Structure 1
Amino acid sequence: MPDGAIAQPPGRGSGRTGRPPLTEERKAEIRLEIARAAVELFVAQGVAATTGEQIGQAVGVSARTVWRYFPSKEMCVSPLFAAGIDAIAAALRAWRPGRPLDEALGRAVTTGERPMARSHLPQVRALLRLTRTEPGLRAVWLQAHDEAEPVFARALADRAGLPAVDLRSEIQAAMLNAALRTAVEHYAWRAPEAAGDAATARDDAGDAATAQAELMATMCSALVVAAEGLA
């Protein structure tokens, strides 16, 4: 040891201290908790009146943590939109030749590779209703579908055994994306509001099961219309 150097206690200065880093799974859970809290606040008091501090308090984290995960309060809801899109992409990857697409969608939404959590549906429905009057939330919803389209195209190309996405798979993905987006909006915007949106945003097992069945029926109807084309 050089003259004048101060000996360090064992373990000090030799590595990182403090809490261990969060796992990716835990980060995803925190993002979803923030998303669900944001929806409840947006529904109850509007987007403009909601702050990052309020969203953080509802989850038990600081506003700084909220902004670490999301660049804006509107973007806080993106995990709820992404969950449904991920389920659809998984359905396309699992879609077996000779089987109807609505069967694959139904299986993926409930029990597939990345199933859509049934308990999230009432919140998503309440959130989508807000996209009619909140331009910031509408932008997040449309961005989610814009980012989903190349994912759908890649899944369709893989199913067809193509080495790369071609024009056909891109057009199929665009048609599917538009049909499903319109179906989900139809389901959300025209659903009865018996208990009000604030109550709808909270979990209820019976309501969630009904919501799942209604959503699947609407999506299947949209696929039939899309398959018929413009003739």
Structure 2
Amino acid sequence: MPVSHPRPALSRPTLAERRKSETRLDIARIAARLFAEHGTNEVTADRIAAEAGIALRTFYRYARTKQDAVEPMLTTGAQRWFEAIASGPRRLPTLADLESAAVRSLTVDDGDDFELTRGLLQAMETDPALRAVWHRINMEGERELRRVLTDLAGPQADPVHLRLLAAAAAGAIRISLEQWAAASAGGEAPAALVVRCMRALGAGV
């Protein structure tokens, strides 16, 4: 008989925490738009702060550098993916389960955020600091995915298998988004690329 693992209770963020998160996301959207339109070399932290309607000192309370400011733009979709996985059956998800959750998270209507993300990923090609933010976020996302998988699978699960599954699935998402951003408009959508990558993994690549 399978062991039932209770789901941890989720505490609701306070009003102050919600406002802080909203402000960070507003700053991230402005920074992403400016980077996509002008390139990172032409955009300063002062300019981002001015367009966000905040003081430069306030900007630096939310981000250490101008590149770090975009982090919330790049983590929202991943957080939806983790939540979709965590809300599934209390067992180790298959690649098909991870694919389905990823497709659902990528087909949410985010308004202009999707195109902002495309422009941001394109801007990374010429900015090593922005690429470093992207790779750091992906590594942190992989660790968070591993934590979610471990919680679902229970203490008897093979940790090596969990690490491999998390790394492979997170890598498939990263490659899908990077390929989508690099392709010309009208190419495969991110969700379609995720399906292709996940199924290639399932077939042994």
Contact 1:35–1:80 at 8 Å: present in 2 too? yes
| CA displacement 1:26-48 (0-9 Å, x = unmatched) | 10111011111111211222212
Cα offset, 1:227, TM superposition? 1.1
TM-score, normalised by the number of residues in structure 1: 0.73
* SS of aligned partner of 1:131: helix
- Aligned pair partner of 1:178 in 171, 176, 182: 171
CA distance in 2, matches of 1:171, 1:30: 36
CA distance in 2, matches of 1:229, 1:116: 32
Map of 1:106 onto structure 2: 103
Contact 1:153–1:173 at 8 Å: present in 2 too? yes
Compute the RMSD of aligned alpha carbons. 2.5
Q: Does 1:227 align with 2:166?
A: no
| CA displacement 1:168-216 (0-9 Å, x = unmatched) | 10111011111111111011111328xxxxxxxxxxxxxxxxx9x8221
CA distance in 2, matches of 1:55, 1:164: 46
Give matches, 1:102-141, under 5 Å: 102-110=99-107, 117-141=110-134
Map of 1:202 onto structure 2: none
| Residue ranges of structure 1 left out of the alignment (5+ in a row) | 1-20, 194-210
Map of 1:73 onto structure 2: 66
Contact 1:90–1:108 at 8 Å: present in 2 too? no
Give matches, 1:9-20, under 5 Å: none
Map of 1:214 onto structure 2: 189
Contact 2:46–2:56 at 8 Å: present in 1 too? yes
Please identify the structure whose Cα radius of gyration is greater. Answer: 1
Map of 2:183 onto structure 1: 190
Map of 1:3 onto structure 2: none
Cα offset, 1:159, TM superposition? 2.1
Map of 1:159 onto structure 2: 152
Contact 2:106–2:190 at 8 Å: present in 1 too? no
| Percentage of identical aligned residues | 29
Question: CA 1:157–1:165 in 2, change beyond 3 Å: closer, same or farther?
Answer: farther
CA distance in 2, matches of 1:156, 1:44: 38
What one-letter code is carried by the residue in structure 1 that aligns with 2:162? S
* SS of aligned partner of 2:115: helix
Contact 1:153–1:165 at 8 Å: present in 2 too? no
| Residue ranges of structure 2 left out of the alignment (5+ in a row) | 1-13
- Aligned pair partner of 1:84 in 77, 86, 107: 77
Cα offset, 1:57, TM superposition? 1.1
Report which structure shows greater RCO (CA 8 Å, sep ≥6).
Answer: 2
TM-score, normalised by the number of residues in structure 2: 0.82
CA distance in 2, matches of 1:36, 1:120: 8
Question: CA 1:118–1:216 in 2, change beyond 3 Å: closer, same or farther?
Answer: farther
Question: CA 1:165–1:158 in 2, change beyond 3 Å: closer, same or farther?
Answer: farther
* SS of aligned partner of 2:112: helix
| CA displacement 1:38-81 (0-9 Å, x = unmatched) | 11211222212211111011111111111110000010111111
